[in-house]
Amino acid sequence: SNSHEIDIKQLNAIARKSFPPCMLNVYNILTTQHHLKHFGRLQLVLFLKGIGVKMEDALHLYRSEFTKKLDGDKFDKGYAYNIRHSYGKEGKRVNYTPYSCMKIINLNVGPGETHGCPFKTFEPNQLSKFLSDNIHNAEPGETREIVELAKNKHYQICCTKYLQAKNPGIKLNSIIEHPNQFFELSFSDGNP
Ligand code: SF4
């Protein structure tokens, strides 16, 4: 499905450059709060699998973050199985597909949960800050336009504009339908 291998040591830089907001958000929470609830873990791990992160590397990432707050034993017993399972290495060995935008947008996000699409789940102020933190030299008008589009529930158009603001060289003739499509477009674009 993908032709590149992801060097896990570069994942921080890769995330900042090329993860769509839904994945950058859960990745940031994993690496700063050292925990993610069930659907956040699932949303991220299936995406990582889709971009070419090896299962061992995904396990290592989750383990090294979770065990900043949790015993290694607890991680191995409570969480490792699910990650292997998402990679199809446990249970029925189903090859689970990374979630599409429609799936992520329509997920129910309860209190304290951080999965979902930030264009839908973030408050306008939070979204505005996220945009100016992550778009280099964001024009105030650009940020405002995206926040307005989000209020009007045009989440995938927001995401397409966000991608174009980060990677002005990319020519798109359709809107973003899938986080892994976002990633491939951004990652293969040479600009930082
Ligand atoms: Fe993720 Fe899709 Fe939302 Fe973009 S529109 S943040 S890719 S769910």
Q: Which pLDDT tens digit goes with each residue over 37-68?
A: 999 999 999 999 999 999 999 999 999 999 99
Confidence check: pLDDT of 190 > 90: no
CA–CA gap between residue 186 and residue 132 (Å, rounded): 18
Q: How far is the CA of 188 from the centre of ligand 1 (A)?
A: 18
With cut-offs at 50, 70 and 90, classify the pLDDT of residue 5.
Answer: confident
22 lines ligand 1 (CB under 6 A): yes
Does pLDDT of 1 surpass 50? no
pTM: 0.95
> Which of 32-36, 134-138, 139-143 is modeled with the greatest confidence?
32-36
Q: Classify residue 175 by its DSSP letter.
A: -
Residue 2 has pLDDT above 90, yes or no: no
- ∠ at Cα 105 (148, 191), nearest 5°? 70
Cβ–ligand 1 contact at 176 (below 6 Å): yes
Furthest C-alpha separation in the chain: 49
Whether 46 is in the pocket of ligand 1, judged by its Cβ within 6 Å, is: no
Indicate whether residue 119 lines ligand 1 (CB < 6 A). yes
pLDDT of residue 27: 98
pLDDT in tens, 64-113: 999 999 999 999 999 999 999 999 988 777 778 999 999 999 999 999 99
Q: Which residue lies with its CA nearest to atom 2 of ligand 1?
A: 101
CA–CA separation, 86 vs 97, rounded Å? 9
Q: How far apart are CA 95 and CA 46, in angstroms?
A: 10
Residue-level pLDDT at 192: 46
Backbone angles phi, psi at 107, to 5 degrees: -65, 140
